[in-house]
Chain A
């Protein structure tokens, strides 16, 4: 029996559909290198057992990931990772990260609270990615809680 690499953690109160949380958490795992090409995603049965998530929800999430070309189903064997989402720009060594850290420090210097910063970041993010977001997630809007769920995977 293969080891289950990833355990999904579904926030039942976030208002973000469970299948979308699975998509987000899988992508986060791909970004962080927790999942690498060739890895097998947990089966719908395994996710059902460990996280009591409806198997149809998991399959829906995997179909979405497949559509984006991130994973591929191999009949009778499971769903496997095709490519990673890790990019040099997303690491903590990237200049973008350094700029963000500097910005955070200016925000703190200006007396902004954690919530103020989160609100600004979310709003700027919405402004920049609004169109792309809609295309990727269908009719449902992803709120700040959705983002929180994604970050939690990294813990």
Chain B
């Protein structure tokens, strides 16, 4: 819940106390109530001071800096019981890359909805390209050149790239049949793809593209509608490092074309790399604006949650040396790479990080270890005893649990209550004579809710209404309520806010300290290196190497991930 009565002056004070250069300019723009011209000229000066990298030798860009493409003034939006945005203001200039960060629930999604015309603000004005609106419609948003690239891609996998870019706007051949002019379609798509630096042709089927390439298609689509502001919503959350670099390159190319970008991400080091200015949202309010020179990880985190994160460091400190081998697999093969046998040992009391590029077979390996998929040959041993996994039920019965990658699809049942989700894998223990005992369910859930700090009105709350971080805690809770021996976590912190992330790191470490073997799959390099005791790296279906703590480095992980030897 937000505290709507808080004054923005408080943030000015906080920022100036941090002593970051230029931040007072950023905020004074908002708080000065003087004549409009004075305000504008000052904001111009401020902008010049702030955007260190802008190319002033290009006259078109200098001219365009005078008028922001988009500005929001005092936008407020309330939902039942929640103030989602509270007097938020922002200006986006042509060719400017704005990093937008904030915890989940800080108001980012609401802001996106307002910009996309999906919802109208209660009060405040939106000025797009000089025209003032009380609220946008979807058509107005598209018409004025605002384009979105969402975290979940909206491409038709069965169509090719060109057909996706121009879907619904295909060039037609003359004649009454209105057939699609395929040649022209490709000819139109090719230059767009070139602009985003794509290394694939317009007739490639989308299903054959990697995630980053699919995002390029989305951006090309945005360019095709002559977008002047591209909003990227968590574009890198599912991308491995190498692909992320490509995407950040595309953002720079957009910027060079004078297109503005709003880059929303939980991955702060990426924001650090591309943003000209970082806008931090907290509780629906502007927590602060960081100019280029003041953008760094710690500042952003400070503004986002107002305190420093020690949890990741804490998670990295293991309290005990790793114990005996818990789960050992020999020569198991997954359906994705049936010709690549995998050997892997996970020890009691350790967090084993499993890194690798997307598509390297990590999730498939996790599915086999959890019994969802069958292994093609190979053997499993749990605590030295042979193990046969015919289904996930077998894995669960043996204390091997999986927190899957896709929380909403496979992790929890959104329609069930928290208590029902937590008891589901262990329902017979919550029943008497095959009849479910609601009181036993509630008791288990209450304990987990307290232990994990699940924020919800009650354990009877529908899980679908919770935030991502709290949903993830419910997934963890259902396994923690049983006795885990091996805990596999597939991208456990994807798309959840930084506060909840820290809590999940703490939980993983607590599990390891209690002797559980923890296997954590992650594409977040900082996370893998920060949290793991050992790192196994996968490359094309095989473990290409295992790094001990002394050899942890981004470079080594990356080298192994592309199949080369580490230093």
Q: Do A and B bind each other?
A: no
